[in-house]
Structure 1
Amino acid sequence: MFRAAILSIVICFAAPVFAQEGAMTAQRIAEIVLDIDPDAQLTPGGIELTLEDIPVLIVMAPGADRMRAMVPIASVEDVSAEEMSRMMQANFDTALDARYAVAQGRVWGVFIHPLSPLEREQLLSGLVQTVNLARTYGTLYSGGANVFNGGDSAEIFQDLFEDLLGRGQDI
């Protein structure tokens, strides 16, 4: 039973196809970010930019072939057990490639990826998903429009949809 459930989850999820590009570098990420936010600041620790009025920090460790985009969301002290559980559910089915994380007393939206195989479109998608985690925190807890089947969030979304339908006019 469990094996069949896992198999159905894997089959339902298809990764998008991205054009093949050369190896991503810290310099190339900086160029991409400056194209989307000319006011972005290059710092010794990475790049700071703003998307949709949300601050984003990108850090890179070329020696470890890793990068991370992070968005601060809330103080951990302000997070209820129910909200923490909801974030973990979202990490399974609606956060997509971004994730909710906790570090240094804060809740963060993060996108973590190996640096060299990262494609431009993947970077941009990861940034959008990370910003969406911050924008939808407390409501939909979503990195985007997709829901990974087999999780708990689809039912929550369906409940919200039915609630909104109930508020509409009878036709």
Structure 2
Amino acid sequence: MTPSEIADTLKELFDAASINAVAPGSWQIETANFRLLVMLSDDESWLRVLLPIMPASEAQPFIEHFLEANFDDTQEVRYALQQGVVWGVFQHNCNSLVAEDFRDAIARLILLHRTGLDNVFNRLIERRIRQIIQAAKQQGQSLQATMQNLDRFYAEGLMGEVNQTSQAREEVLAAWRYQLERLWPEVEP
């Protein structure tokens, strides 16, 4: 892609008022929800698209999960850490980049930004639930006995919030039940 093709594609994707050519070969797209940076290397052979996701301090407990997502989920974009910020990054050789792939990469970066920690946090939760299932199975517990223990923990106040209503408690237990039933057959003791 040439600089003019990049600029034209950005105009297709975003409102012209949100696009700012900050220097030759560099654009900043400023929307109400995000700030996207598009930069060419000095020799215009490489394109880099950057989108800040969150401060690194908020992401620190999940860094391992971001790296796992890079391996499994993010496809052509990646999470990266620079200057105290977790970024969504896309890099590509300009000679082989086509507009459709450029548009797809921007869409995927915006999705990473939109989901923030959600996908990473969900992976962490699933891992923890699998650990609970494994421990229960190692103790010879059935799915029903495991659910009864969780119900008892909530009833005794060991889990849940102090001022949790009975309806909220039932909703949480229903979510536990769903996840345990979904994952139970997949976990080996």
Q: Give the TM-score normalised by the residue count of structure 2.
A: 0.60
Does residue 85 of structure 1 match 2:43? Answer: no
Asked whether the equivalents of residues 51 and 131 of structure 1 are also in contact (C-alpha less than 8 Å), the reply is no
2:5 counterpart of 1:28: yes
Identify the match of residue 116 of structure 1 among 64, 83, 95: 95
Match of 1:147 in 2: none
Alignment-derived partner of residue 27 in structure 2 = 47
Q: Is the 8 A contact 2:54 2:116 kept in 1?
A: no
**Distance apart, 1:78 and its partner CA:** 2.4
- How many angstroms does 1:64 deviate by? 5.4
Report the alpha carbon displacement of residue 107 of structure 1 after superposing the two structures with TM. 0.7
Kept after mapping to 2: 8 A contact 1:59/1:68: yes
The aligned counterpart of 1:65 is: 45
Q: Within 2, Cα distance between the matches of 1:115 and 1:69? A: 12
Match of residue 178, structure 2, among 146, 166, 171: 166
CA offsets, 1:12-67, max 9 Å, x none?
xxxxxxxxxxxx11121011101222221111161111468221110111615100
Q: For 2:20, give the aligned amino acid.
A: Q
Residues 165 and 136 of structure 1, relative CA distance in 2, 3 Å threshold: farther
Q: Percent identity?
A: 23
How far apart are the structure 2 equivalents of 1:32 and 1:164?
Answer: 45
Distance 1:49 1:64, change over 3 A: closer
TM-score (norm 1): 0.65
Q: Which runs of 5+ in 2 are unaligned?
A: 130-173, 180-189
- 4+ residue runs of structure 1 moved beyond 4 angstroms? 162-165
Which residue of 121, 128, 134 maps to 2:107? 128
Letter in 2 for 1:85: E
CA separation of 1:128/1:156 partners in 2, compared to 1, >3 Å: closer, same or farther? farther
1:107 maps onto 2:86 in alignment:
yes
Q: Residues 35, 43 of structure 1: CA spacing in aligned structure 2 closer, same or farther, 3 A cutoff?
A: same
- Given that 2:76 and 2:105 are in contact with CA atoms closer than 8 Å, whether structure 1 keeps it comes out as yes
Tell me the number of residue pairs that the alignment of Structure 1 and Structure 2 aligns: 128
What is the identity, as a one-letter code, of the residue corresponding to 2:40? M
Deviations 1:92-147 (A, max 9, x none): 11111110001111110111111121111100000011111111121115xxxxxx
SS at 2:114's partner residue? helix
Q: Which amino acid aligns with 1:59?
A: M
What's the counterpart of residue 55 of structure 2?
A: 75
Aligned to 2:136: none
What's the secondary structure of 2:118's corresponding residue? coil
- Structure (1/2) with the larger helix percentage: 2
Pairwise CA RMSD: 2.7
Q: 1:70 and 1:119 mapped to 2: Cα distance?
A: 18
